[in-house]
Amino acid sequence: MKTKKVAIIGASGYSGEELVKLLLHHPHAELVAVTSRQYAGQTLAQIFPKFASHPKSQSLRFSEPKAEVLAKQADVVFLALPHGVAAEYAVSLLNAGCVVIDLSADFRLKSAEIYKEFYAHDHPAPDLLKKSVYGLPEIYRDEIKKSLLIASPGCYPTSILLPTIPLLKAGLIKPTNIIADSLSGVSGAGRKAEIDYLFCECNESVRPYGVPKHRHLSEIEEQLTFAAGTKVVMQFTPHLIPVNRGILTTLYFEPAAKLTDEKISACYAKAYGEEPFVRLLEGKALPDTKNVAGTNVCEIAWRLDPRTGRLVVMSAEDNLVKGASGQAVQSMNLVCGWPETAGLI
């Protein structure tokens, strides 16, 4: 299988670090460049001792993030950058013929207006919104294969969209009464030197935040609207919990008609029965973040409540893998024509 050269712009955050790990061990991708303003000139091994046993960590040095240089080095470029900044790199890299896989929010929305509403600045490259594909392979596999600009989904959105889209598409739940209650590990906040994310501020602490209008609502609602064929406005409450990795989402749905376990089971089996990275739990099992940590798997379980009539669906993922870097690699595999599971577990 033909190897391709890949680069990561912004490789020093948690998502960037996870990308480095995945790409160092990928059977078909060759990591040729990692950038970091802060660490430019230093080797991977110096900044991430955990990778020091990999031979490439001794030779690969962080460089300044210059699009024109990277475009000559790499076929595929991952952007692990803040929103707003990512878009600028994307334009240059696409023009130079690279495939761009963006982990920021810059190309996840189709609407520049909604982008401005949620991100508080004009979209830096609105023309590209038409060209980008939302990088959720279980939903957009065919589009991803043909795309040059893949907008890899957010961590919370992945944990909400995977369990919800099949139910909406099948008309099993009402689009008007959706609640998502999510619990995220602290790596979701990024590697930022802020008091709020110090060990002593997070350990022995549990807290909601961003209530009631977290930015991720924009892409969640847009995707759910596509799936439902009607405008979806929903409730979403993220919480910070003291684990490094993992998102656990509990979803509350109102059935659109009389539901049975069989109908739900059949709906999910049809949607995900053959998916390598969606695990439908059976019997008494419920999702647990420790069962997906370090993997690209999203666990899903559901319970129909005969007392309330509601459908409760629960999902678990590793926010840095299926919620970020693993999913981005999954998209890379698709766009490069490699086995979708290459380099992922």
Q: Identify residues 167-196 at the interface with a second copy (CB under 8 A).
A: 179, 181, 183, 185-187, 191-195
Considering only residues 108 through 137, tell me which ones interact with a second copy, judged by CB under 8 A: none
121 Cβ contact partners less than 8 Å away, ≥ 6 residues apart: 84
Q: Which of 87, 101, 314, 332 binds a second copy (CB under 8 A)?
A: 314
Indicate whether 295 belongs to the interface with a second copy (CB under 8 A). Answer: yes
Which one of 26-34, 92-100, 159-167, 305-313 is the stretch in contact with a second copy (CB under 8 A)?
305-313
How many angstroms separate the CA atoms of 251 and 290, rounded? 19
Measured from the CB atom, the residue of 50 and 131 that comes closer to a second copy is: 50
What would the two tokens of residue 335 be? 């766009």
In this structure, which long-range contacts are made by residues 129-136, counting pairs with CB atoms below 8 Å and at least 24 apart in sequence?
A: 132/102, 132/107, 132/108, 134/108, 134/219, 134/223, 135/101, 135/327, 135/328, 135/331, 136/161, 136/162, 136/223, 136/327
Site string (230-269) toward a second copy, x via CB under 8 A:
---xxx-x-x-xxxxxx-x-x-x-----------------
Which one of 58-66, 263-271, 274-282, 331-339 is the stretch in contact with a second copy (CB under 8 A)?
274-282
* In the complex, least distance from residue 23 CB atom to a second copy, rounded to whole angstroms: 14
195 Cβ contact partners less than 8 Å away, ≥ 6 residues apart: 201
Indicate whether 47 belongs to the interface with a second copy (CB under 8 A). Answer: no
15 phi, psi to nearest 5 deg: -65, -40
Q: Which of 98, 155, 202, 298 is catalytic?
A: 155
How many angstroms separate the CA atoms of 75 and 53, rounded? 26
Indicate whether 305 belongs to the interface with a second copy (CB under 8 A). Answer: yes
Indicate whether 325 belongs to the interface with a second copy (CB under 8 A). Answer: no
* In the complex, least distance from residue 306 CB atom to a second copy, rounded to whole angstroms: 8
Indicate whether 207 belongs to the interface with a second copy (CB under 8 A). Answer: yes
Measured from the CB atom, the residue of 104 and 250 that comes closer to a second copy is: 250
For Cα atoms 96, 90, 4, give the angle at the middle one, nearest 5 degrees: 60
**Active-site residue, 155 included:** yes
Residue positions annotated with a catalytic role:
155
